[in-house]
Structure 1
Amino acid sequence: MFSRCGVVYALFVGSCALIGCGPSAPVESGPKGVYEQNCAKCHAQAGEPGGPPSIGASKGPKLSKIGAEPNRSADWLADYIRDPKSKKADSRMPAFGGTLTEEQIRSLAEYLAAKK
């Protein structure tokens, strides 16, 4: 027979399992992980990690071929990630210069520049 504490504990554990309080999925490392943690919520497309579940796109532009766009070198992208308004005055993207390390910005920029 369950005591009141046992019942409360069982309800708590069951609730956590239903709402996702348990361990999360492992986080990807390297530039792909930086992208998934910091960029995907705005740039992922349907079916991609962080994107809408079925159809459509997130609010930011699609980045799957960003490296093929004219003048989108790793240096340009790093500057843009660090401070978007330095490259595009009307950009709505937040600056990541204070959020990401220089190493993360550089690896992310190289990762994106390779997307062609």
Structure 2
Amino acid sequence: MAVLEIGSGLGEVKKNPLFPPCAPKGINHEDFYKECCELACYFVAKDYGHVDMLDDETKGIRGKTSKSREPMRRFVGGVMVAFMKAYLEGDSSCLVGIRFGHEVAPVEFQNFDFL
């Protein structure tokens, strides 16, 4: 089964002295990806947290970065469409374009990899 793993660069950052990070090293998206078999894509959006794919005004949800969430939402939506086109329709042009910088992504990547 093909896997698209989207990680957040701020997941390992501890923001509260009483609680651990949301995605601590050793049990986060990176470790999940390392367990995947072929047909897997891995993107990490630098300077964003996992809650940043939600609406800008989300009542009761904490963890918003100082940046707008809109670029993260656009990135997640775009990479999901590119991934589905690649693995369901056989058209990998958009996914390869994102990987090699031919397609403009609204976020900076901290890491990306393809199996």
Structure with larger RCO (C-alpha < 8 A, sep 6+): 2
The two structures have a TM-score, normalised by structure 1, of 0.34
Q: Which has the higher helix share?
A: 1
Provide the TM-score with structure 2 as the length reference: 0.34
* Higher Rg: 1
